[in-house]
Amino acid sequence: MASILVVGSVALDSVKTLEGESNEALGGSAVYFSLAARQFSNVSIVGVVGKDFPKEHRRMLSGRGIDVAGLKEMPGKTFRWVGKFGRDLSDAKTLATHLNVFKDFQPALSDNQKRSEVLFLANIDPELQMDVLSQMKSPSIVACDTMNYWISSKPDALRELLAKVNIFFGNEEEAKKLTKQPNALRAANVISEWGPSVVVIKKGEHGAVLKAGNKFYVFPAFPLEAVKDPTGAGDTFAGGFMGYLAATGAYDDVDALKRAMLYGTVMASYNVEDFSTRVLEGLTRAKIEERFHDFLDRLAVSREPVTA
């Protein structure tokens, strides 16, 4: 099995949506990513939590096969995010962010971690992302995500990082802002000129765009009549995508990349059906394959003309 190292946030999230709310529930980009990716590949988390981080969360992650040796406990409190979603589920309103121990996060990789085949740099300060990348021996593939905050505050560090990254993940608004382009496809073109040969633009309920081998592949989201909590959908998508891709090892294969898009979509669709990591914790590979094939069937269109 391929080994993926993910560096990112581990958080306690309090989220309110039209369907309910969660209070100091497990969250964070590294957590969502890992819980999705572990279905396909071995995953190790590099991150930091405070003294208040519930032991059962660490046990749960570990019980799901995720290596949490690199999840350091530091004096202080765990990173917290307080957010709210209205009718527009693509629009997360941040009510409060308490960085706490995350403020002084200085990831130091173990020898084992430095030799991981795949590195996923979840959305954190691009200078930290670069620092982690520079500690790696010779990863086969490096992927990253980012967000508006870093696009505004550290654009140069981000550009420098992108030059060393193989796969970029970003949501549509972020990609447009980062590249000053009016649409997702042109934004992907600019980002791929900066470095990543594969660009994935996430569009939430409208699906996602893959640019690979100079061509665009657009896939819809899996149709859901209700979404309880969109928190972590993007990280879960990336986890399903990277977990599957790492398992194939076929990083440049367009067909593998397209399947990775669908696995990412399926994982994200499960995640949003309940708050926090509830669905991901109990998800089986059988249920994933069931929805993956359901999704393939819905997308499948026969090549032959239909005549009555």
Tell me: does residue 92 bind its own copies (CB under 8 A): no
Q: What residues pair up with 26 in beta bridges, in sequence order?
A: 12
Does 296 bind its own copies (CB under 8 A)? Our answer is yes
- Out of 96, 163, 286, 308, the residue judged to bind its own copies by CB under 8 A: 308
Length of the chain: 308
- Residue 287 makes contact with its own copies by CB under 8 A: no
Options 44-52, 232-240, 276-284, 300-308: segment touching its own copies (CB under 8 A): 300-308
Q: Which is nearer to its own copies, 194 or 216 (CB)?
A: 216
Please provide residue 260's backbone torsions phi and psi, each rounded to the nearest 5 degrees.
-60, -40
Residues forming a β-bridge with 93: 84
Cβ(235)–Cβ(171) below 8 Å? no
* Residue among 43, 128, 262, 272 that touches its own copies (CB under 8 A): 262
CB 276 within 8 A of CB 26: yes
Using the minimum distance from each CB to its own copies, give the nearer residue, 96 or 306. 306
Three-state SS string over 197-261 comes to CEEEEECHHHCEEEEECCEEEEECCCCCCCCCCCCCHHHHHHHHHHHHHHHHCCCCCHHHHHHHH
Member of 82, 99, 157, 256 binding its own copies (CB under 8 A)? 256
Residue 186 in the binding site for its own copies (CB under 8 A)? yes
Segment near its own copies (CB under 8 A); pick from 3-11, 111-119, 154-162, 251-259: 251-259
Q: Is 180 in the site for its own copies (CB under 8 A)?
A: no
- 286 vs 271: CA distance, rounded Å: 16
Task: Assess 219 for contact with its own copies (CB under 8 A).
Answer: yes
Distance CA 269, CA 298 (A): 15
155 binds its own copies per the rule CB under 8 A: no
d(CA 102, CA 274): 26
Residues that bind its own copies (CB under 8 A): 18, 87, 182-183, 185-186, 189, 203, 205-207, 209, 215-221, 223-226, 247-250, 253, 255-256, 258-259, 262, 293, 296, 298-303, 305-308
